Amino acid sequence: MGHLTGGDPSLLRRINSAVVLQALRGSGSPTLTDLARITGLSRPTVEGAVEGLVASGLAVEAGHDGGETRRQGRPARRFRFRAEAGHLLGVEIGPHRVAVLLSGLDGRIIGTGSREVSEAACADERLERTRGVVADVLRRTSVARSSLRAVGVGTPGIVEADGTVRLGTALPGWTGLALGERLRRSFRCPVLVENDANAAAVAEHWKGAGTDSDDLVFVLAGLSPGAGSLIGGRLHRGFGGAAGEIGALHLLGREATPETLLSTTGEPLHPLDERAVAGVFAEARVGDERARAAVDRFIQRLVHDVAALVLALDPELVVVGGWAAGIDGVLPPLREELSRYCLRPPRVALSLLGEAAVATGALRLALDHVEEQLFAVEPAARR
């Protein structure tokens, strides 16, 4: 491995190339003069960097608009970032569905797809359904699988750095599944697997209710709520990837289970699925006293779980998503309880991305990975 010094011309070229690429990607179709002004580099340096980017396929000369001309009267050359030089996937693998988002290197979505999957489906069946949705999206958008630069995946469970699901109680056969390794066989590009609530937190910060806050908690409200947290704009996973697992208390026998909380008969609610729970909420809306009491118990536990996390992290914003975000009146008691328990109550808002939050966050994680490569100064082999 060679040693780079401050005066190494190859290092300077890489720095200049990264600076110009970043300016090019955020500037539409600038001229060389525009890029020199934006970057502060000399025009010859910019021209050399652009030539290298064109040769690598990341930039291309854009069409002339006739608005700017050189002194000789010839149109100034304009260049644009080639977002189509590669593609990214954001994938959600959940209990009831698989969803896929496809984008270019600019993160703009160019294709979507989803399919329902049985809650009881085994791991192999769920992965096969995922591959089917991906293949369908690629076919409909005429995007070659070989152009994929990275794939982000959001799924329930505690996820190791290598994409192995250490604990995943929401999906059959998910605990111990080497999910990242299994998917890399299909994609042959980097696959980044993340907890679904963590992915959703990233999404809300990127395109949702948290674009103006770097310190936020996203609550994926469901039968067993989970949360993802950003601190200073960075995802907080915890030492073992289990940060935000606020729904785990009932698994440890420390609180009433959802089956008990949502019961209207004195016996545990069975089967415990979203259809049965929706029925309880529907009964509560029309005034059934037992159903209203069950909903109140459910909301109270959610509120207490969130309050504990807020006390620990002191976020500026709490975003509530997941199917329980649609419960009538969930925000007022959450705001009230947080005001009671927290020294500095955060703002509370509903998710703006809804059911697209997890896949959107997974796409953002893939984009982050590719951006690290595009704007890296050190060559990939030296990292």
Q: Could you give phi then psi for residue 163, rounded to 5 degrees?
A: 95, 5
- The per-residue pLDDT for 76 is 84
pLDDT band at residue 170 under the 50/70/90 scheme: confident
Q: What digits encode the pLDDT tens for the residues 328-344?
A: 667 888 888 888 888 88
165 pLDDT more than 80: yes
For range 254-274, the mean pLDDT: 70
9-81 and 212-351 in the same fold:
no
Question: What CATH topology corresponds to 212-351?
Answer: Nucleotidyltransferase; domain 5 (3.30.420)
- CA Rg, the chain, in Å? 24
User: What pLDDT score does 65 carry?
Assistant: 41
- Kindly provide the b/e burial profile for residues 313-340, where b requires at least 16 CB atoms within 10 angstroms of the residue's own CB: bebebbbbbbbbbebeebeeebbebbee
* Residue 218 confidence (pLDDT): 96
More confident of the two residues 69 and 356: 356
Specify the pLDDT at position 279: 80
pTM of the model: 0.86
Q: CA–CA distance from 87 to each of 100, 106, 179 (Å)?
A: 13, 9, 21
Asked whether residue 48 carries a pLDDT value surpassing 80, the answer given is yes
Residue 73 in this model has a pLDDT that exceeds 90: no
| 86 and 107 Cβ atoms separated by less than 8 Å | no
Q: Which of 276, 284, 274, 291 is nearest to 328 (CA)?
A: 284
So what's the pLDDT on residue 143?
A: 97
Mean pLDDT of the chain: 86
For residue 164, what pLDDT is reported? Answer: 95
Is the pLDDT higher at 203 or at 299?
203
Token pair belonging to 75: 């149109």
Name the more confident of 305 and 114.
114
Please report, for residues 29, 42, 77, 79, 196, the alpha-carbon distance to residue 32 in angstroms, rounded to integers and kept in the order given. Answer: 10, 10, 7, 8, 43
Bridge partner list, 235: 230
Domain 87-201+358-374's class? alpha beta
pLDDT at 298: 81
* Domain residue spans of the chain: 9-81, 87-201+358-374, 212-351
Over residues 366-382, the pLDDT tens digits come to 999 999 988 876 655 43
What CATH architecture applies to the domain 9-81? Orthogonal Bundle (1.10)
CB 218 within 8 A of CB 319: yes
